[in-house]
Amino acid sequence: MLSHHTTDCIVIGGGVIGLAVARALRRDGLRVTLFERNTQPGGEASWAAAGMLAPQAEADAPGVLFSLCAASRALYPAFADELRAETGIDIELRTEGTLLLAFTDEEVQHLVEKRAWQTGAGLRAEPLTPFEAREREPRLSETIRGALHLPDDWQVDNRRLTQALVASTFRAGVDIHCDAGDIQPIIEKGRIRGVTALGKTWHAPLVVNAAGSWAARMSPELLRLPPASVRPIHGQMLSLHMQPPDLLRHVVRSARAYLVPRRDGRLIVGATVEDVGFTKQVTAGGVARLLAGTIEAVPLLADMPLGETWNGLRPLAEDDLPILGETDVTGLFCATGHYRNGILLTPITATLMADLVANRTPSLDPLPFSPLRFSKDMNQAHS
């Protein structure tokens, strides 16, 4: 006979998304239990990321995803302050901005087009000559043909962010269980009643699936999405030690690599984008491509010592949009599919999910992100 626990809400997955949603629900006064499959939370994509808060650098056109990303960026200064007040952990929000580099005519044209639609939308995007770009970052290559400064595309240290979210949720009384093993839903009459996990029954009227790239790998009943709706996109990363430690101050991006300088002198270099299933390995070819992109942008970095290499899996939804909201099972919610912007999207996801759970009107239309957009496929996949 299984022992029983009762709580208000269960969150599955302890990455930045699950942790931030748990924190927001707890702040709304709910009792929250979080299950993480690994030995500790925050060790997957949320740990592997570069921490760029880059709606403008990442987007090629306006749209619902861009608006969500921009809204989340605006929440970051207050989010960082709150986390520091709650935990003492500084997530190192850096606001020097991002420099996009062009090395070819085609890349120059791409920056011209990006600037046009972004300034048209009222955003700041300042074109720079190569000379002006090197005035801002003197170590940039002599071979750049043009640059765009995005003063509002920032960065945080995502590993510190996960630490801060773990500390915040723990202190707020979220009940965190690691090594969670298989989790099965309890669904009765179209409504979630809780889950079985760790050999026990956990009763709750609300369950949030925030299992990142694995969200569609669990019991399909728990996800209520077709198995192919979320898949992993592999990214390889490496770090260098800058000498001096402030050799770069901006995030620097080209079409071949991005360089993210941390306050402690590490330079985070990313990233490959590989559709290779759940295989996770750092390869010679991946590292070679990243280093070539690095040295092309800042030749002096060829002399800097290598730090770590690592990798992670970005959760990508079939239609490239995050999956946020209630499924066709009452009380069963999803928060996944954040792909290349999950660090950026953490605060807006938490706010939006808490609003939806509490039946408050969110600040943004949640409909484009609803899991219900997959319901037809789900019914076909499981019929």
Q: Which of 42, 235, 286, 315 binds ligand GLY (CB under 6 A)?
A: 235
| Contact string (CB under 6 A) for ligand GLY, positions 257-286, x = contact | -------------xx---------------
Would you say 95 or 243 has its CB closer to ligand FAD?
Answer: 95
For residue 108 the two structure tokens come to 């120059």
Q: Supply angle C-alpha 329, 41, 341, rounded to 5.
A: 70
| Contact string (CB under 6 A) for ligand GLY, positions 191-230, x = contact | ----------------------------------------
Work out whether 316 is an interface residue with ligand GLY (CB under 6 A): no
Question: 328, 355, 299: which is closest to 101 by C-alpha?
Answer: 299
CB of 271 to ligand GLY, least distance (A): 4
CB under 5 to 8 A by kind: which of ligand FAD, ligand GLY, none does 149 bind? none
Q: Supply angle C-alpha 266, 59, 50, rounded to 5.
A: 20
DSSP string of 25-68, one letter each residue: HHHTT--EEEE-SSSSTT-SHHHHS--EE-HHHH-SS-SHHHHH
Work out whether 59 is an interface residue with ligand GLY (CB under 6 A): no
Question: 18, 355, 375, 17: which is closest to 183 by C-alpha?
Answer: 18
One-letter identity of residue 374: F
- Which spans of this chain sit near ligand FAD (rule: CB under 6 A)? 12-18, 35-38, 41, 43-46, 48-52, 180, 183, 210-214, 218, 235, 237, 270-271, 312-315, 336, 338-344
One-letter identity of residue 129: T
Q: Is residue 154 within a helix (H) or strand (E), and if so which, with residue range?
A: strand 154-155
Q: Name the DSSP letter for residue 291.
A: H
Q: Name the DSSP letter for residue 161.
A: H
Would you say 214 or 333 has its CB closer to ligand FAD?
Answer: 214
Would you say 17 or 75 has its CB closer to ligand FAD?
Answer: 17
CB of 198 to ligand FAD, least distance (A): 11
Work out whether 314 is an interface residue with ligand GLY (CB under 6 A): yes
Q: Count CA within 13 A, CB hemisphere, residue 168.
A: 30
CB under 5 to 8 A by kind: which of ligand FAD, ligand GLY, none does 331 bind? none
Residues that bind ligand GLY (CB under 6 A): 50, 52, 235, 270-271, 314, 340
